[in-house]
Structure formats: C-alpha cells, structure tokens
Amino acid sequence: MAISNEKVLEAVKKNKVVSVSIACVIVFGLAAMIRWSAVEDAQSELDAISTEAARYANNLRNASQLTADQALLAKRTSEIEARMLKVGALMENQQFFFDLEKNTGVKLVELRPGSEILPAARKGFYAALPYSLTVTGTYPQLLTIIRRLENGQQFVRVLSSKLYPAPLEASARGDAGSILVLTMDLEVLARP
C-alpha cells in the first residue's frame, strides 16, 4: 500500500504545523547528536587542562620555601665536602691522622691506607678510603681518639677494632701496665 508523493504533499499542505515540527525535530535531533561529542570533547579537554593546572599550582604551593631550603642545603653540603678527605691526596689525608695523634696524645704506630672504593663501586656520590690504624696510649686517650674519629669533622666508620695491653717494652716507656694498643680497620668518606 504505497503512498504516492502527491498524497504526501497534500498531507503536508494540509498539516503545515505538524510537518514543520517534524522537520524541526529531525534537524535539531541530528544537530544534538552531532554536537553531543563536541560537548564531551570540550569537557574532557577541560578536565585534562584543569588537572595540569592543579599540578602546577600544587608545585608552586609546595615550593614556597624550596629555593631558600635548597640554597641552605647546597651551602651546607659544599661546606661538608670542603673539609672531606680527597681521593688521591695521600699526604693531605694522612695529615688528618697526624693531627689526631697530636691532639689526643696517642702514639701512632702504624697507618696503612687501603685501596680506595670509588663512588661507582659504592653506587653513591663519594668514595670510601680504608685505613688500618694502630695507636698506643692510655685508655682515656684511646677512647678520645675513637670519639674524635666517630664524631669529628670526617665521616668515619670503624669496621673492626682490637684493644689489648701493650707489650712490656712499650709499657716501660709510660706508666707500667697502663699503656694499651688499639688497632682499627676503618673507612673514611672522601670526595672524588
């Protein structure tokens, strides 16, 4: 039961309001469908930009004191590095131990440097200089030198140590029986 074009045209002419309304619905319905993705795209673009803007704003908020903190930290780090032992500076590095000997009153019997552990091997910024140290002195003197090593200006860790009475000939030079021998294997942190 086909409807001829004439009948359709006649019906359109007879019902103009309904026909125009149907045309409007079709046109605007299509427009709504096409523009729907545009709205969604704009919304997702806004979300992405807002997220990034929030990240920047957060960075700025968190960095309010950062410049001053970084400057202070860099200053302190360079101060610490300036007083560290240096890889390869054998004589200068030994002077550190000679100064300790002088300031604590112990007798430095032996100072043997080991082979340096470079930063790449330690997976860090600094090298480690191993030393074997033998000193003699009274118990308070030896305790003082250990404390100065551990809490002094250098970063030192004592790997092992032995403390025992000095042989009789050494003791004979000081108070008999009060002289002790301290041997230590230690590592000192050094700048490359």
**Cβ at position 57, least distance to other proteins in Å:** 6
Distance, CA of 142 to CA of 12 (rounded, Å): 114
Closer CB to other proteins, 24 or 172, in the complex: 24
Alpha helices in the chain (DSSP H): 5-14, 16-62, 66-83, 90-104, 119-122, 139-151, 168-173
Element (H, E) at 187: strand 180-191
User: Tokens 């007798």 map to which residue?
Assistant: 107
DSSP 8-class letter at 117: B
**Cβ at position 88, least distance to other proteins in Å:** 19
Closer CB to other proteins, 73 or 91, in the complex: 73
Copy the structure tokens of residue 160: 């092992």
Copy the structure tokens of residue 106: 């112990």
Closer CB to other proteins, 34 or 91, in the complex: 34
What are the distances in angstroms from CA 179 to CA 12, 63, 161, 186? 123, 57, 16, 22
**Cβ at position 131, least distance to other proteins in Å:** 14
Binding site for other proteins (CB under 8 A): 11, 14-15, 17-18, 20-22, 24-25, 28-29, 31-32, 35-36, 38-39, 42-43, 45-46, 49-50, 52-53, 55-57, 59-60, 62-63, 66-67, 69-70, 73-74, 76-77, 80-81, 124-126, 128, 143, 146-147, 150, 155-165, 184, 187, 189
What are the distances in angstroms from CA 26 to CA 20, 64, 119, 121? 10, 57, 75, 75
**Cβ at position 76, least distance to other proteins in Å:** 8
Closer CB to other proteins, 42 or 121, in the complex: 42
Closer CB to other proteins, 55 or 173, in the complex: 55
Closer CB to other proteins, 47 or 92, in the complex: 47
**Cβ at position 67, least distance to other proteins in Å:** 6
Distance, CA of 169 to CA of 174 (rounded, Å): 9
**Cβ at position 90, least distance to other proteins in Å:** 21
